[in-house]
Amino acid sequence: MTGFTEVARDVYVLRYPVLDVNATLVVGDGAALLVDTLSTDAQARELRDAVRAVTPYPLTVVNTHHHFDHCFGNAVVVDADRPIWAHEEAARILCEEAAALQRELYPKWAPIDPELAAGLAAVRVRPPDHTVHLEATLDIGGRPVVLRHLGRGHSVADLVVHVADVDVLIAGDLVEEGAPPNFDDGYPLEWPATVFALLELASPATVVVPGHGAVVDSGFVRAQHADLTTLEWLIRDGHTDAATVDEVATLAPFGPDAARVAVRRGYAELAGRAT
């Protein structure tokens, strides 16, 4: 595994090859913050070693959302007495539904990546113990780091992490690079507004860390916001016109496979069936 790369002063990103997922390390004076913790105990041990190659300081953890590739490493990466932050709904899901999620994940991943599937089944999930409703500010060794829930998008519980002193936004899976956004339990009719709120925090020079893929800038996020907005209105118009899912998906950004999932989710929301 490669180590962390500095993307701004004392802010480091590790791009993990399995699922191309990012973990971000913010180092202050005598304290550090780790955003997202990967998927399995083995991955988390590698991540912990990579963190310790950068800093010996005690860690606070933030999970950008409750999906396994961003939080299942919690128990291994951070000491038991250290805090883990997440949106309140992400904490609830990981507290109440972790075992059910693990049972669903194993058969999904076993045919694709048996090693990952086995690791997911063996994890002891540690839920976050500090929660955010809309906003919280952490003091990371003298550096204010703001956690914001700007609305639903990729999930019900997305958090954006803002390191304002160096103009870095850690976006989680609200922003994706190198692959289409994942709409499996997303909110395609709300996602554009949430990303617009993220852009309101950005400047032309902002470094944006997506949930997966290469670090990007605000221009990339604006382009993705435009595609998400196009998709939203295709779904709304398609629902009004009684168009089929496939008819809308063929016109949509991100490719037909991702778009089909988004259209189904959007149609369900417009019909009052979304969860």
**Nearest-angstrom CA–CA distance, 154 and 186:** 4
1 HSE (CA, 13 A, CB side): 25
How does residue 19 score in pLDDT terms, banded at 50, 70 and 90? Answer: very high
Mean pLDDT of the chain: 97
pLDDT in tens, 88-116: 999 999 999 999 999 999 999 999 999 99
Nearest to 210 by CA among 251, 249, 158: 158
Model pLDDT for residues 110-151, shown as the tens digit of each residue = 999 999 999 999 999 999 999 999 999 999 999 999 999 999
Q: What is the pLDDT of residue 275?
A: 57
Give start-end residues of each CATH 3.60.15.30 domain in the chain: 1-149
Which CATH code is given to the segment(s) 1-149? 3.60.15.30
d(CA 10, CA 141): 12
